[in-house]
Structure 1
Amino acid sequence: MSRIKKQERQQQLREKLNNTPFVTDEELAAFFQVSVPTIRLDRLELGIPELRERIKAMAEEHSHDTIENERVEVVGELLDLTAGKQGLSMLHTTADMLDATGYVEPHFLYAQADSLAKAVIGIPAAIAGVGNIKYKNPVAAECNLVAKAEVVRRRGDKAFIWVTIKDKVREVFRAKFIMEPVKNRM
């Protein structure tokens, strides 16, 4: 991509962030072949917030029947929760989560997915009776992992929940759970 005029770059920047809002300033700088400070100045002029604020704004915008439940414990930060339908959380990975190979231990991804699934169905004492999980890509430290859980079906007390975890736009983990209350297992 050759250098383009500021106004055209800002218009393309706005369109790119509308299509892929989880893109970092560094990735935008590489895409437009400009410096990171240039991207930040463009965002400021256009009134576009930084990545973390865009994620929070999207969560608030898409929450309609959000519930407040102090008993819900989610691994990471709960961004959005619509009871019985869907939820969104973010987990910031750190160096103490890494294994010997330098990647985040898989149990952190599973914990984020499982806890968000429990929060979505609103039953803190639930168990994944069946779980089909797939670790799709390794995750490094200092990433923001965004998990989205959605209830796709209910059958009696059982809830079928699909969870995807993404690092920016790249899917790193997915799970399909059949969750049920613990009382059903006793």
Structure 2
Amino acid sequence: MKKIVLFASGNGSNVENIIQYFKNNDTISVVGVFTNNPHAKVIERAKNHGITSFIFDKNQLQDGQVLEKINDLQPDLIVLAGFLLKFPESIIAHYPNKIINIHPALLPNYGGKGMYGMNVHRAVLENKEKETGITIHYVNEHYDEGEFIVQHKVNIENCTTAEEIADKIHILEQQHFPIVISEILNFKF
């Protein structure tokens, strides 16, 4: 059985989508959800599926306590799905090429510190982009600079608000993220 741990900071809709995608899978399983936000809806979502949540603060992320919990679970893949903190180099070094992230834009555009969620969608709208998309990439020591795994695009010429862009991006995330995770774990990437 291949094991996934998920990291999220907020609502957790991508986390729930991934959990549901692998729920009846005989070869891949979600074994834990980590969050830095004790009020995040992702905790409730994980609980509803019988998956243990680990709540931590920034210090525990940096001082090795989170790495210890991850090691206890022995994951084959660590998935950042709406996780807003910079991932520590100590964990990246311990799990090389086994940590992936989804970004709500076509990197390298609209990436870096502070570029997440609605911040990205507002910037895309303000720059009058005709298309945007998602980038799924490996995590390295720099925000949004890890090797790309895949990008998917969507036309946004008819979008007049950042919320409309966010809705289109959410659809792409829901469609593609679980499939890419499965392909990585089955060595298709």
Higher strand residue share = 1
- Normalised by the length of structure 2, the TM-score is 0.26
TM-score scaled by structure 1?
0.26
Structure with bigger gyration radius: 1
